[in-house]
Amino acid sequence: MTWKSESGKDYKLCLLDTNVISEVVKNPEVEGIGFAKLFPPDSYAPCISFFSLLELKRRTDLFQKFVSFFSKYPCFLLKPQKLILDEERKARGDVSLVQPLQNAFSFLGSEPSFDIKYFMDEMFSLEFFDDLARNWRSEEIEILNGWLANKENFEASKSSPNSEDAEEYLSQAGIQSLINSDLDWAGQEIQAGRILNINHFPSLRFFLYSQYYRLYDPYWKAKPKEVTDVLIYSVAPYMDVVIAERYQAEVFRKTQARIPELADTEVYILRDLRVKAETDV
């Protein structure tokens, strides 16, 4: 989905994960130049997760570089997956009604909330975000342990991830994940005779695909940060462009044809930024 500014100009939404942001701002002469060439600030709006801001806030030097580099762009803070799921429930299959953007930064307005440093200070002064910031490390570990514990609940037909098993995994895990995400809502839907349709939840579908291709890859190394990465990428069906690390880019390649909302999403990796930096075009 594109975003239209108050002046009527269209911007493509560009999802960046924490590692991509870090490499771009630490290496402005290579990844930074490549990013600016591929995604000029008059046409693209970087979209950033709360979790990425959390990591940046912990590293003062990196955060200052982030503010300096991205001050040229209209930037957005993305809604967390839980809120996107709420919107998908209300949309009832009309994904055009889903709004993944939480807050705008930089030159988009004169209100204090448009200033990213002011916004972050205000955000982390709230008890909810402060608690999440302090406790997320332990929650990552807890969630990852839950993934690993539930891995045996699905019997894969092959030793390596494949499209057939991916679909079966989604079939088995999808509806249960929907129910677990909001028991009251699920109960009301079932009582009203409405079928829970996983296809109405692109963010959850991509979350589960990303989870499957990790859990059942015999070479995947389970790390707590993978939980955060999967949560960040779950918003991808609502983005025009995604810059991902190589592993996740491969997941995109395997799933784009299965999720209609991902069909036109452009996927890049850091190497694309480096290659672009070396060209004159």
pLDDT in tens, 78-104: 988 989 999 999 999 999 999 999 877
Range of the domain at 10: 2-277
114 has a pLDDT exceeding 60: no
Query: Residues 99, 85: contact at Cβ < 8 Å?
Result: no
pLDDT value for 51: 85
pLDDT value for 136: 81
Residue 118: both structure tokens together: 């002011």
pLDDT value for 129: 67
167 has a pLDDT exceeding 70: yes
231 vs 59, more confident: 231
Closest CA to 89 of 102, 80, 98: 98
* SS3 at position 103: strand
Element (H, E) at 117: helix 116-125
267 has a pLDDT exceeding 80: yes
> Please, what is the Cα angle at 268 between 29 and 277, to 5 degrees?
25
The fraction of the chain above a pLDDT of 70, given in percent, is: 90
37 has a pLDDT exceeding 90: yes
107 has a pLDDT exceeding 60: no
pTM: 0.90
Tokens 């249960």 identify what position? 176
152 vs 6, more confident: 152
Number of domains present in the structure of the chain: 1
pLDDT value for 124: 66
Q: What is the mean pLDDT of residues 10-36?
A: 94
Q: What is the mean pLDDT of residues 180-208?
A: 94
136 vs 79, more confident: 79
92 vs 137, more confident: 92
Element (H, E) at 10: strand 10-16
Confidence at 274, pLDDT banded by 50, 70, 90: very high
* SS3 at position 32: helix
Confidence at 110, pLDDT banded by 50, 70, 90: low
The fraction of the chain above a pLDDT of 90, given in percent, is: 67
pLDDT value for 264: 93
Sign of the CA dihedral running 116, 75, 273, 251? positive
Averaged confidence pLDDT in the chain: 88
pLDDT value for 15: 97
Q: Which of 36-50, 53-67, 203-217, 260-274 has the least mean pLDDT? A: 53-67
Confidence at 23, pLDDT banded by 50, 70, 90: very high
pLDDT value for 6: 75
59 vs 151, more confident: 151
Strand partners, 161: none
105 has a pLDDT exceeding 80: no
